[in-house]
Amino acid sequence: MTKIRVLDPDTVNQIAAGEVVERPASVAKELLENAIDAGATSILVDVTSDMAAVTKIRVTDDGEGMTPEEAVLAFSPHATSKIRDIADLSAIHTLGFRGEALASIAAVAEVTMITRPRGAGALAGTRVVVRGGEVVEKSEVGAPEGTTIVVERLFYNTPARRKFLKSRNTELAHIYAVVENLALAHREIAFRVVHNGKERMATQRSGEVLATIAGLYGADLARALVPVEGRLPFIRISGYVSRPSESRGNPSQVFVSINGRSISSRRIAAAVREGYGTLLPKDRYPVAFIDLTIETDLVDVNVHPTKREVRLSREREITGAIAAAVEEALAGHDLLGDGAAEPVQQPLVPSEPARNPAPAAAEPEAAYAVGHRGLARSDRQLRRTETEGQENLLPPMEPIGQVAATYIVAEGTDGTLYLVDQHAAHERVLYDQVAEQRDKAAGSQELIMPVVLSLPPKESAALRDAVPLLADEGFLVEEFGRDTFAVRAVPVALGAVEDPGRVRETIDEVLAGEARTAPDRREAVTCIVACRGAVKAGALLTPDQQKRLLMQLARTKTPWTCPHGRPTVVAFDKRKLDGLFRRG
């Protein structure tokens, strides 16, 4: 009587088939999954390589082990202890079930297995050696409970496949990625990776995802994360996402698990990214660790031989919920810099004055050239974005002055030094307002004098196409004659009533710029309008204007970055300043 049985051909035919052994990392993955399925609490991955390639992978677990019969049967094709027939698949809780990993690995390598079942008492362990699919040795050995599998000479009999292997370091990186994914999904297991005798990573059996993250990537990354929570009747979302300051050039560090299974899903990664909205530049991705608990009948794991991909029912609702949960998590958090500052627990009340108001703040407005054209213009720009808001997501800060007429210097009540990019900050304020007006289909203002544009045929065709898009944004554009257009109304935020030249520039930019190819044209147009209407870098601001800008910024939903994802505020807390001067 053994736990392992060979699946009948009907069942085999209904299981997604395909090659599972492509490279050393696939071997590591299959062996690790088997160890996890065997109930291991601690798993060691020991990798050996020479200069050119990975030469040996050894995985040791303290799981349930196998009897002598099972140890041999495990190498037969379609031999598994995990399902009996296809019906079992609908409620599968194990990582494996196809019963072909060990057979496939043993067909293209030399495999040694040493195993002894749990609670076997005085019974000895078993050693099985399989080469090119043939059992070449079976003997009794002394062994601890659990299983050790050693895979050597991978692809020794399939030189074509060996040729496709990448450099040693690339293959090692793939192995590490496999361990990272599994360790993140299985915090109840301690993982240790050793390469050529040196420990590469180690996690504790803490059950705590943050502890696992720190074990794999270091405490600094763990500190730069914000918790995410979400729930719908059929799904629970939990995990952590990075502050926008910790971003990556690709989605490879968006880790997703579904019901404890680590999976890869471009759609879910896109949903996580979507939750950041404009907090990240278009081409950047966050670091994220997302655990999804979904009713098992909504998840189909039988679509891909390595089970990395799954099919989800109600995928739209699920991705929508993920994006919303991420957005909410970020909106409620202090996203400054590296997370060194304490998270803001509650929205703060509008700024109380700093304890030691700096001299510049007290300086009379008159110190600034009265009637300076730039000042008047900044004033008009700021007046347009004045709102009655309660929200205040920035810590209280009092402006001290400007640097290079570009950055506002401010002091927080706790002695933190803030530098605010005035253009980026005002862009954020405008962007939020334009986006809101756009959603309310309001915010258009008629021009006293329509702005007339005469365009070359190619551009006028582009403008004709863009009329509905521009209308969404509050531009009323009418064609009246060949290649001639009248702009009759513009978004309020643009404030272009005073400046017809700006209307032309903005529309030019919409037509010519990246807005035409950007995947989300609407958002791109909103960005352009915000950028055009915002206070410029290099514009002198009075203390009052600086203060108003900071208050406006604090009332936005995401004050930490501009719509292009660049930071609006950087902070140097007292500790950091003391450190710079090597105090205490």
Query: From Mg ion, ligand ADP, none, which one binds at residue 277 (CB under 5 to 8 Å depending on kind)?
Result: none
Task: Go through the chain and tell me how many residues it has.
Answer: 584
96 binds Mg ion (CB under 5 A): yes
21 binds Mg ion (CB under 5 A): no
490, two tokens: 């513009």
Number of Cβ within 10 Å of residue 47's Cβ equals 22
Task: Give just the sign of the alpha carbon dihedral 336, 340, 343, 348.
Answer: negative
504, two tokens: 């032309």
In whole angstroms, what is the distance from residue 183 CA to residue 190 CA? 8
98 binds ligand ADP (CB under 6 A): yes
63 binds ligand ADP (CB under 6 A): yes
In whole angstroms, what is the distance from residue 367 CA to residue 204 CA? 62
412 binds ligand ADP (CB under 6 A): no
Contacts with ligand ADP, 103-142, as mask; x by CB under 6 A: x---------------------------------------
- Candidates 61, 62, 398, 421; binder of ligand ADP (CB under 6 A) is 61
In whole angstroms, what is the distance from residue 563 CA to residue 567 CA? 9
286 binds ligand ADP (CB under 6 A): no
Give the shortest CB-265-to-Mg ion separation in angstroms: 22
102 binds ligand ADP (CB under 6 A): yes
Collapsing DSSP to helix, strand or coil, 32 comes out as helix
Place of tokens 């035409």: 516
100 binds ligand ADP (CB under 6 A): yes
Give the shortest CB-17-to-ligand ADP separation in angstroms: 12
30 binds ligand ADP (CB under 6 A): yes
Q: Which is nearer to Mg ion, 34 or 247 (CB)?
A: 34
Stretch that binds ligand ADP, among 50-58, 99-107, 400-408, 501-509 (CB under 6 A): 99-107
Contacts with Mg ion, 99-118, as mask; x by CB under 5 A: --x-----------------
Q: Which is nearer to ligand ADP, 192 or 423 (CB)?
A: 192
Q: Is 558 left (phi over 0), alpha (psi -120 to 50) or beta?
A: beta
243 binds ligand ADP (CB under 6 A): no
Contacts for 154-162: CB closer than 8 Å, 24+ residues apart: 154/21, 154/24, 154/27, 154/54, 154/57, 154/108, 154/109, 155/108, 155/109, 156/108, 156/109, 156/110, 157/108, 157/132, 158/108, 161/22, 161/108
Could you tell me whether strands 42-49 and 54-61 are parallel, antiparallel, or unpaired per DSSP bridges? Answer: antiparallel
Stretch that binds ligand ADP, among 60-68, 216-224, 298-306, 324-332 (CB under 6 A): 60-68
Stretch that binds ligand ADP, among 56-64, 154-162, 164-172, 278-286 (CB under 6 A): 56-64
Strand order in the sheet with 397-403: 397-403, 407-412, 417-421, 569-572
96 binds ligand ADP (CB under 6 A): yes
444 binds Mg ion (CB under 5 A): no
- Candidates 26, 49, 67, 81; binder of ligand ADP (CB under 6 A) is 81
- Candidates 66, 435, 453, 553; binder of ligand ADP (CB under 6 A) is 66
474 binds ligand ADP (CB under 6 A): no
Using the CB atoms, write b or e for 397-415: b if 16+ within 10 Å. bbbbbbeeebbbbbbbeee
Give the shortest CB-73-to-ligand ADP separation in angstroms: 7
With beta carbons less than 8 A apart as the criterion, state whether 96 and 32 touch: no
With beta carbons less than 8 A apart as the criterion, state whether 116 and 126 touch: yes
Stretch that binds Mg ion, among 32-40, 68-76, 216-224, 253-261 (CB under 5 A): 32-40
Select the residue whose beta carbon is closest to ligand ADP and give its number.
Answer: 96
Number of Cβ within 10 Å of residue 170's Cβ equals 12
Residues at the site binding ligand ADP, with contacts judged by CB under 6 A: 3-4, 30, 34-35, 38, 61, 63-66, 74, 79-82, 96-103, 147
Residues at the site binding Mg ion, with contacts judged by CB under 5 A: 34, 96, 101
